[in-house]
């Protein structure tokens, strides 16, 4: 039998859009509360984190946020309170991120992830999601840029229809 709790999150980063609503509904069933959603800022915080553990880590973070947040929308601050390591994702204010990172190496890795993601997002936005056109702008090989887009599960613009856009990513 397949269990979502045993999958490694980092193996399929695009699944976050499906996992978060599913896990929030599960949290609502567990607690008997109405289902909650995550704010846009909260979702960006979740996306920015690399999720080194399995889906269970994400599930526990969302359950804690579900229990501690008031209202039907979980804000970024509730997520940060539920999992301080999220601050190292780079989406939190820098003073919070510095305090939550356990080492300089971890802080550097987190900052690099944020810069890489934004760089790739900007390049793809400039070329309407076309990897082949974006690669020369970035002074990169197409394959390297494609790997980064997949690593960060970057969604290409809806209008990108060509074969050089990120394969398998909408």
| pLDDT tens for each residue of 76-87 | 888 888 877 776
- pLDDT value at residue 142: 95
Give the C-alpha separation, 91 to 34, whole Å. Answer: 28
- pLDDT value at residue 17: 83
| pLDDT tens for each residue of 140-159 | 999 999 998 888 777 666 54
| pLDDT tens for each residue of 85-94 | 776 655 454 4
pLDDT category, 114, cuts 50, 70, 90? confident
Give the C-alpha separation, 64 to 58, whole Å. Answer: 10
Q: Which CATH number fits domain 4-97: 3.30.70.1400, 1.10.8.60, 3.50.50.60, 2.60.40.1120?
A: 1.10.8.60
- The mean pLDDT of 83-106, rounded to a whole number, is 60
Assess contact for 40 and 91: CB atoms under 8 A. Answer: no
Got the DSSP string for 37-105? EE-HHHHHHHHHS---SBHHHHHHHHHHHHHH--SSEE-HHHHHHH-GGGGGGS-S-HHHHHHH-SSHH
Give the C-alpha separation, 159 to 15, whole Å. Answer: 22
- The mean pLDDT of 94-107, rounded to a whole number, is 58
Predicted TM-score (pTM) of this structure: 0.49
| pLDDT tens for each residue of 124-136 | 888 888 999 999 9
Domain-wise residue ranges, the chain:
4-97, 103-170
């Amino acid at each position: 039998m397949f269990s979502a709790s045993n999958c490694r999150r980092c193996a399929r980063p695009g699944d976050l859009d499906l996992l978060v609503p599913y896990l929030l509904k599960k949290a609502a069933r567990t607690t008997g509360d109405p289902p909650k959603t995550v704010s846009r800022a909260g979702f960006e915080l979740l996306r920015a984190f690399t999720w080194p553990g399995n889906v269970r880590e994400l599930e526990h973070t969302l359950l804690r946020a579900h229990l501690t947040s008031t209202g039907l929308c979980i804000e970024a601050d509730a997520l940060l309170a539920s999992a301080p390591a999220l601050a190292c994702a780079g989406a939190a204010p820098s003073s919070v991120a510095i305090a939550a990172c356990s080492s300089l190496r971890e802080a550097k890795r987190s900052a690099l992830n944020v810069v890489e993601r934004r760089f790739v997002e900007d390049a793809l936005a400039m070329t309407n999601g076309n990897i082949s056109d974006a690669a020369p702008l970035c002074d990169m090989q197409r394959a390297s840029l494609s790997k980064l887009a997949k690593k960060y599960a970057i969604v290409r613009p809806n209008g990108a229809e060509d074969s050089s856009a990120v394969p398998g990513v909408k």
